[in-house]
Amino acid sequence: MNNKKIAKLNLPNGKVIELPVISGSLGPDVIDITSLYRQADMFTFDPGFTSTGSCKSDITFIDGDQGILLHRGYKIEDLAEKSSFLETSYLLMYGDLPSKEKKLEFVNSITMHTMLNEQISNFYRGFKDNAHPMAILCGVVGAMAAFYHDSTDINNADERKIASYRLIAKMPTIAAMAYKFSIGQPFVYPNNSLNYSENFLNMVFSVPAEKYEINPIFADALDKILILHADHEQNASTSTVRLAGSSGANPFACIAAGIASLWGPAHGGANEAVIKMLNEIESIDNIKKFIDKAKDKNDSFRLMGFGHRVYKNYDPRARVLQKIAEKVLKEKHLLDNKLFDLAKELEYLALNDDYFKEKKLYPNVDFYSGIILKAIGFPVSLFTVIFAVARTVGWISHWNEMISDQNSKIGRPRQLYTGKPQRELS
């Protein structure tokens, strides 16, 4: 890092203070304001953190103007084409792609942790049968701290590793159980002869009474979806995990916090919202009406799956997902799929509309993922859950990076107070 550049800030009182400018390996420089309060007796004000870097990180790089996403230096398109979800997970966690031996060891270790403590199944029975699976996921992952005491010491690297592996391995099991519970079917135990995505499909779709054939095209599509959602630097849920973890909270609590943040429709909940929106649009003739609604300042409606805080260009993940959608729909002989046709027409019309062009609003990762998941057979209520399964490795990697950083501090933003001044209680 080069610390020689300086930014000068003229304060209203005439004082000029100097702040170091730091360069990363890629991306714009940042102004280091850690001494600002000390020097100027002022804070910065940046709700939504649109101009604020919250940490240093080696994991993921995004160039939003160019539409580039790199994990540890590798392009997301290449990882989606040539890697597997668990190999990409290793890359995110350890910084490099694994050797053949390391990969085998990692995959084996994850596979050996797929089962849940049997008592956790009792926990499920406490939920209402119509509970949203994200609510169940949040609760069960948080409760893991009550079951796996031997991996909650965040200062012990071995315990952190076991907790990380447990979370990655058990998320599909927890997610599938949430679904099975909601439809009144028996839980299906993990099958360690299957790979990560095959096992997930098996736990969601098979029933003990019948033979279930795993469709390799669906398993491959799911694996790619997991890769595409695995990490995205300091998004809302990852920042939530980091903030929760900064206080020293155990990893299960931190990941539960991340799940809660992901659930919102402005974040991971958008994949569910896209399908609801397409169903509401119903026919190509109605698209214009919805585009007009999205442009209307007096209407809170937004095109779901469109726009991004960082991408001001096509989200590279959406491009890959569009291709996967075609493959999966072809497999299901559904290429004239109504939702897919609607989505492509909506994308075409929005991308040619001045409002969307001016504001640089493009399809994001959530725009096509729901169409693929629906074609595979996943219910809409599991879409955000699948996002959470994938993002767990990203959360874990950031949490580990933060804990391993000797300089990390508890996250504690300040505020601009606009309430009543001090007053007397009579």
Q: Cα separation of 314 and 8, whole Å? A: 35
> Which of 111, 202, 235, 392 contacts ligand CMC by CB under 6 A?
235
Which residue in 32, 33, 31, 18 sits closest to 414, CA to CA? 33
Query: Residues 232, 308, 315, 398: which is the catalytic one?
Result: 308
DSSP-assigned states of every residue in 127-193: S-TT--HHHHHHHHHHHGGGT-GGG--TT-HHHHHHHHHHHHHHHHHHHHHHHHHHHTPPP----TT
- Does position 308 interact with ligand CMC (CB under 6 A)? The reply is yes
**What distance separates the 2 farthest-apart alpha carbons in the chain?**
79
> Which of 256, 294, 328, 371 contacts ligand CMC by CB under 6 A?
294
> Which of 79, 303, 343, 371 contacts ligand CMC by CB under 6 A?
303
CA-to-CA separations, 321 to 28, 80, 81, 217, 264, in angstroms, rounded:
28, 10, 11, 14, 21
Task: For residue 93, report the phi and psi dihedrals to the nearest 5 degrees.
Answer: -75, -40
Q: Cα separation of 370 and 2, whole Å? A: 43
Catalytic (active site) residue 308: yes
Q: Cα separation of 18 and 6, whole Å? A: 6
- Does position 270 interact with ligand CMC (CB under 6 A)? The reply is yes
Minimum CB distance to ligand CMC, residue 339 (Å): 16
- Does position 139 interact with ligand CMC (CB under 6 A)? The reply is no
Segment interacting with ligand CMC, rule: CB under 6 A, options 5-13, 32-40, 219-227, 261-269 = 261-269
Minimum CB distance to ligand CMC, residue 172 (Å): 19
Size of interface with ligand CMC, in residues (CB under 6 A):
20
Residue closest to ligand CMC (Cβ): 307
Contact call for residues 376 and 214 (beta carbons, < 8 A):
no
Query: Residues 223, 231, 315, 366: which is the catalytic one?
Result: 366
Minimum CB distance to ligand CMC, residue 327 (Å): 22
- Does position 366 interact with ligand CMC (CB under 6 A)? The reply is yes
Site for ligand CMC in 64-103 (CB under 6 A): none
Q: How far is CA 366 from the centre of its chain?
A: 11
Catalytic (active site) residue 366: yes
Q: What residues line the site for ligand CMC (CB under 6 A)?
A: 48, 235, 266-268, 270, 294, 302-309, 359, 361, 364-366
Q: Which active-site residues does the annotation give?
A: 308, 366
